[in-house]
Amino acid sequence: MRTFYTDTLIELAEKDPNIVVLEADLMKCHGTIEFKERFPERIFNVGVAEANMIGIAAGFSASGKTPFAATFACFASRRAFDQFFISGNYAKLNIKLVGSDAGITAVYNGGTHMTFEDIGLMRTIPDLIVFEPCDPVSLRKLMLQSAYHKGCTYMRLYRNPVENVYKEDEEFELGKGKVLKDGEDITLIAIGVVLVREALAAAAKLEKKGISAAVI
């Protein structure tokens, strides 16, 4: 997914000179080295200083830029929460915060990096749009929409390669759900790479037991 993340950033930057990218020492992890090769003057590595990254992003936004600021989800939500809440959202700026490796997808980085509370924390911020793409199609299309949404957003990013769930021509609305499967008995609601696939698999098993499950 990080390849599609970087590709979409490049696509945006080619059309919009106000797109800038900020990283907290994770350019290799997020694959944004390619963006640096294309637009070296529009990407900034702040080092292990996530709260400062949000402050810098706020400055860029106040100057008319559209900053995409990325770090691990645990640091985006816990470490930089106050800065994002006040400097970004309270100030009604336009920061696109990206949190990667949330929950069990942190894997090798261990328990300190496995944030399960980031969505809960971010949902307390008024007017913030929180979303988690489940495949490359939804990633690209939701990123394109978020770039032109006036206001802050928080996107969870899964880094590893995954197959598409949606068709290439699927349409999305930022902040809204999509019905993946109709059903009459129960409804399963899921987000992201892991849980959407688990929900679809669960719906298939329930179908064999005579239970019609919708998946959103």
| pLDDT recorded at residue 23 | 98
- Are residues 14 and 34 in contact, defined by beta-carbon separation less than 8 angstroms? no
| pLDDT recorded at residue 79 | 95
- Are residues 100 and 70 in contact, defined by beta-carbon separation less than 8 angstroms? yes
Say whether pLDDT at 108 is over 90: no
The residue written with tokens 């590893």 in the block is 160
Q: Is residue 41 among the annotated active site residues?
A: no
- Residue-wise pLDDT for 7-58, tens only, equals 999 999 999 999 999 999 999 999 999 999 999 999 999 999 999 999 999 9
| pLDDT recorded at residue 157 | 95
CATH fold of the domain at 2-157: Rossmann fold (3.40.50)
Question: What's the whole-number mean pLDDT along residues 172-187?
Answer: 96
Give the global pTM: 0.94
**Phi and psi for 207 in degrees, rounded to 5?**
-60, -40
- Residue-wise pLDDT for 54-77, tens only, equals 999 999 999 999 999 999 999 999
| pLDDT recorded at residue 1 | 85
Nearest to 152 by CA among 135, 175, 169, 173: 175
Say whether pLDDT at 106 is over 80: no
| pLDDT recorded at residue 179 | 97
What percent of the chain is modeled with pLDDT above 90?
Answer: 91
Q: Give 110's pLDDT tier (boundaries 50, 70, 90).
A: confident
Contacts 24+ apart (CB under 8 A), 109-116: 109/72, 112/74, 113/72, 113/74, 114/74, 115/72, 115/73, 115/74, 115/77, 115/78
Domain ranges in the chain with CATH number 3.40.50.970: 2-157
- Are residues 48 and 41 in contact, defined by beta-carbon separation less than 8 angstroms? no
**Separation between Cα atoms, residue 179 and residue 103, nearest integer Å:** 24
| pLDDT recorded at residue 70 | 98
Q: Give 145's pLDDT tier (boundaries 50, 70, 90).
A: very high
Encoding tokens for residue 111?
A: 């328990």
Nearest to 131 by CA among 94, 102, 160: 102
Q: Which of 34, 41, 50, 171 is catalytic?
A: 50
Question: What's the whole-number mean pLDDT along residues 150-175?
Answer: 95
